[in-house]
Amino acid sequence: MKISRNKLRIHRKRRIKAKIRGTKELPRLAVFKSLSGIYAQVIDDEKGMTLISVTSKELKIKNDIKSAEKIGEAIAKKCLNKKIDKIVFDRSGYKYHGKIKALADGARKGGLKF
């Protein structure tokens, strides 16, 4: 019996989440991608609050690599407006290539430090 790719991703996500915690000083940048869009949010795990979020639907852009980079730049801009310059990157079990890497590079280009 074969296990689905999404169940394997969720297993990796739990393993990663056990090691990564976001604080007020060093929040967590969580990424989710679906067939219809890319979502990024900055989370304070101590309070359990989402501080900032950006989606591809909100920016009215396509779901491709160039758009992922734009989302990274947009979230970096919002973070810098709230005086957040350092974050912990949570790739949510996805491999670090393609859209996930483009989003991280866009966030770095926008001024965030991982």
Per-residue pLDDT of the chain (114 residues; tens, 9 = 90+): 889 999 999 999 999 888 888 888 899 999 999 999 999 999 999 999 999 999 999 999 989 999 999 999 999 999 999 999 999 999 999 999 999 999 999 999 999 999
Determine the structural domain holding residue 49 and report its residue range: 5-110
In the block, which residue shows the tokens 């852009």? 61
pTM for this entry? 0.89
Tens digit of each residue's pLDDT (9 = 90 or more) over 63-92: 999 999 999 999 999 999 999 999 999 999
* CATH number of 75's domain: 3.30.420.100
The mean pLDDT value of the chain amounts to: 93
Alpha-carbon distances of 5 from 10, 12, 14, rounded to whole Å: 9, 11, 14
How many domains are there within the chain? 1
